[in-house]
Amino acid sequence: MSFGSPWFTLPEFTYHKPKTLKEALELLDKYGEEAKVMAGGVGLLAFMKERLMAPSHVIDLKGVPELGQAIYKEGEGLTIGATVTLNELARYGPLKKFGALHDAVRDIADPIIRNRATLVGNLCEAIPWVDTPPALIALGAEVEIRSLKGERRVPVKDFIKGPVEIDLEPGELVTAVHVPEPRRNSRSRFIKYNTGSEFALVSVAANVVMDGGRVRDVSLVYGAVSSTPQVAVKAADALKSAEKPWEVLDEVGRIASEEVEAVSDVLASEEYRRHLIRVLTLRVLREVMG
Amino acid sequence: MREITLTVNGERRKAMVKDNELLLDVLRDKLYVKSVKAACWRGECGLCTVLMNDRLVKSCLVLAVEADGAEILTAEGLVKDGEPSPIQKAFIEKGALQCGFCTPAFVISSHKLLTMNPNPSDEEIRSFLSGLICRCGTYNQIIEAIRGAQKAYASR
């Protein structure tokens, strides 16, 4: 029973399930903007029910074996295929080396959703409050894109162009996300402020490289604060230039809370978000520097 | 329309489906598996949860065509020779329901949890079931029911 309401039904489309990457790319090339790819389908089917999307062709990637693999190579990093689910990734041992990503993927939505939802899908939705982009940006991750014309790589930071807007042309497919090997003496974490399985009001990923008692390098990236993930450059500089970094954490949190773009919406006011940014910055830095 | 074949609770079933039909709607309206409840259709309440190829999924977020060839297990499938399974008996004994609408989803999910881990902590139970909503608020009794069925799973 579906009551004929858009909330309960999907618009009509033709379902395709290619068995090779070549076949998938040919379908994408043939149907162009008429097509959407599906991995876990969690986001796509929700968008389609609400009629925010109505592709004539849905291309299910789960029949393509090479897209279903997460592969870690020492010294090179971690490559996560387009159909690897969040639960599969969470269980993959080497993920622990990538602290911020490990934190983020284990706490998205709920465990049943994570049986279907994928990392690449979570990223490609580019909804401002999803969790994996801040973690991926802090870790310097890149998106691997293929089409019949060739392949290219784009840093995650540039891949997300706006809310629900990504750097992807018709005919192109995100085949994987690549996270480089963490630098020596580095440590990263991701934390978010939310209730239950709700979306984050503010999230932050931090990746630091320690050098004795000083911070040689740090990346601070905020999610859910504005239309795209925000990188706090001034706050990072303040931490790097401090001779005794532990003594300036309050100041770093304050700079970050003033520096990044933050908006008011139904979930939280700008003022509240800036307060949360200050508090979460302090917390995440204590974790990664400790 | 195309024909799909599912193994539902051990029985091979065929159905003619359109590409845009949800597994949830096909299970309920074409195969008459009525323990699978439809409530939100958007992956939030979890009451349409089934085991698909031994993995818990919310069937409102799965296309029926995607499930072609899959094995589906629902609360009905836990009953053997008319006898409820230990987890189903435990739900009754501990009064882990009020209106009962969410019960099949909690039963099949609790069954999966205990199959993987016969001795979960309270926190593991809460986290595992966090994608399901019981509007009568019987969460504590559900945990008691899982505790009540633990022994049966440990000895399997």
pLDDT in tens, A77-93: 999 999 999 999 999 99
Is pLDDT at B147 greater than 60 in this prediction?
yes
Number of residue pairs across A and B with CB atoms under 8 Å?
Answer: 77
Strand pairing category for A14-16 and A57-60? parallel
**Which residue, A265, A290, A90, is CA-closest to A206?**
A290
The verdict on A109 touching B (C-beta cutoff 8 Å) is: yes
**Which residue, A86, A199, A80, A190, is CA-closest to A135?**
A190
Tell me: do A198 and A222 sit in the same domain. Answer: yes
DSSP assignments along B20-44, one per residue? T-BHHHIIIIIS--TTS--S-SSSS
The verdict on A197 touching B (C-beta cutoff 8 Å) is: yes
Classify domain B2-76 at the CATH topology level: Ubiquitin-like (UB roll) (3.10.20)
Of B38, B63, B130, nearest to A41 by CB-CB distance is B63
Q: Which residues from chain A sit within 8 angstroms of residue B20, using beta carbons?
A: 9-13
Is pLDDT at A184 greater than 80 in this prediction?
yes
Distance CA A252, CA A227 (A): 23
* Amino acid type, A175: T
Residue A100 contacts residue A108 (beta carbons within 8 Å):
no
Tell me: do A110 and A198 sit in the same domain. Answer: no
The answer to whether residue A9 sits within a structural domain is no
Distance CA A135, CA A229 (A): 10
Residue B155, by phi and psi: left (phi above 0), alpha (psi -120 to 50) or beta? alpha
Residue A164 burial by CB count (10 A; 0-12/13-18/19+): exposed, middle or buried? Answer: middle
Sign of the C-alpha dihedral computed for residues B127, A49, B55 and A91 taken in this order = negative
Is pLDDT at A234 greater than 50 in this prediction?
yes
**Which residue, B3, B61, B66, is CA-closest to B30?**
B3
Q: What mean pLDDT comes out for the span A150-168?
A: 96
Distance CA A87, CA A32 (A): 31
Distance CA A21, CA A40 (A): 17
The answer to whether residue A222 sits within a structural domain is yes
Give residue A8's pLDDT band: very low, low, confident or very high (50, 70, 90): confident
The answer to whether residue A4 sits within a structural domain is no
Strand pairing category for B11-17 and A230-231? unpaired
Of A13, A46, A116, nearest to B42 by CB-CB distance is A46
Interface probe for B, chosen from A1, A110, A198 (most Cβ of B below 10 Å), is A110
The answer to whether residue A111 sits within a structural domain is yes
Token duo for residue B45: 């309440």
Last residue of a domain, one of A136, A151, A180: A180
Helix, strand, or coil (residue B117): coil
Q: Which residue of B has its CA nearest to A15?
A: B19
Per residue in A93-137, pLDDT tens? 999 999 999 999 999 999 999 999 999 999 999 888 899 999 999
Q: What is the ipTM of this complex?
A: 0.96
The answer to whether residue A2 sits within a structural domain is no
Give residue A195's pLDDT band: very low, low, confident or very high (50, 70, 90): confident
Tell me: do A276 and A197 sit in the same domain. Answer: yes
Distance CA B60, CA A10 (A): 11
Tell me: do A71 and A58 sit in the same domain. Answer: no
pLDDT at site A262: 97
Helix (H) or strand (E) holding A222: strand A214-223
User: The sheet that has A142-147: what strands, in order across it?
Assistant: A70-73, A77-81, A173-180, A142-147, A150-155
Tell me: do A84 and A161 sit in the same domain. Answer: yes
Distance CA A37, CA A171 (A): 10
Tell me: do A93 and A167 sit in the same domain. Answer: yes
Token duo for residue B18: 């359109």
The CATH number of residue A276's host domain is 3.30.390.50
**Which residue, B94, B96, B116, is CA-closest to B106?**
B96
The CATH number of residue A130's host domain is 3.30.465.10
Last residue of a domain, one of A180, A201, A217: A180
Contact criterion met (CB < 8 Å) for B56 and A113: no
The answer to whether residue A69 sits within a structural domain is yes
Of B38, B56, B63, nearest to A112 by CB-CB distance is B56
The answer to whether residue A6 sits within a structural domain is no
Distance CA A131, CA A109 (A): 10
The CATH number of residue A42's host domain is 3.30.43.10
pLDDT at site A196: 67
Residue A189 contacts residue A205 (beta carbons within 8 Å):
yes
Residues of A numbered 234-263 whose beta carbons fall under 8 angstroms of chain B's beta carbons: which are they? none
Distance CA A190, CA A137 (A): 11
Tell me: do A100 and A130 sit in the same domain. Answer: yes
Q: What mean pLDDT comes out for the span A256-267?
A: 95
Distance CA A153, CA A58 (A): 24
Interface probe for A, chosen from B18, B63, B117 (most Cβ of A below 10 Å), is B63
Tell me: do A164 and A72 sit in the same domain. Answer: yes
Distance from CA of B137 to the nearest CA of A (A): 15
Residue B154: how many CB atoms within 10 A of its CB?
10
Residue A211: how many CB atoms within 10 A of its CB?
12
Q: Which residue of A has its CA nearest to B128?
A: A111
Helix, strand, or coil (residue B129): coil
Domain boundaries, chain B: 2-76, 79-154
Residue A276 contacts residue A262 (beta carbons within 8 Å):
no
Last residue of a domain, one of A45, A62, A79: A62
pLDDT at site A6: 63
**Which residue, A46, A59, A63, A55, is CA-closest to A13?**
A55
Contact criterion met (CB < 8 Å) for A15 and B65: yes
| Average pLDDT over all residues of chain B | 97
Distance from CA of A14 to the nearest CA of B (A): 6
The answer to whether residue A120 sits within a structural domain is yes
Range of the domain at A268: 186-289
Residue with tokens 């909503």: B133
Token duo for residue A192: 């978010």
Tell me: do A169 and A202 sit in the same domain. Answer: no
pLDDT at site B29: 97
Q: Please state the domain count of chain A.
A: 3
Residue B88 contacts residue B107 (beta carbons within 8 Å):
yes
| CATH for the stretch B79-154 | 1.10.150.120
Interface probe for A, chosen from B3, B17, B20, B34 (most Cβ of A below 10 Å), is B20
Residue A177 contacts residue A38 (beta carbons within 8 Å):
no
Residue B109 contacts residue B115 (beta carbons within 8 Å):
no
The verdict on A53 touching B (C-beta cutoff 8 Å) is: no
HSE toward the beta carbon, residue A50, CA cutoff 13 A: 8
Q: What mean pLDDT comes out for the span A221-250?
A: 97
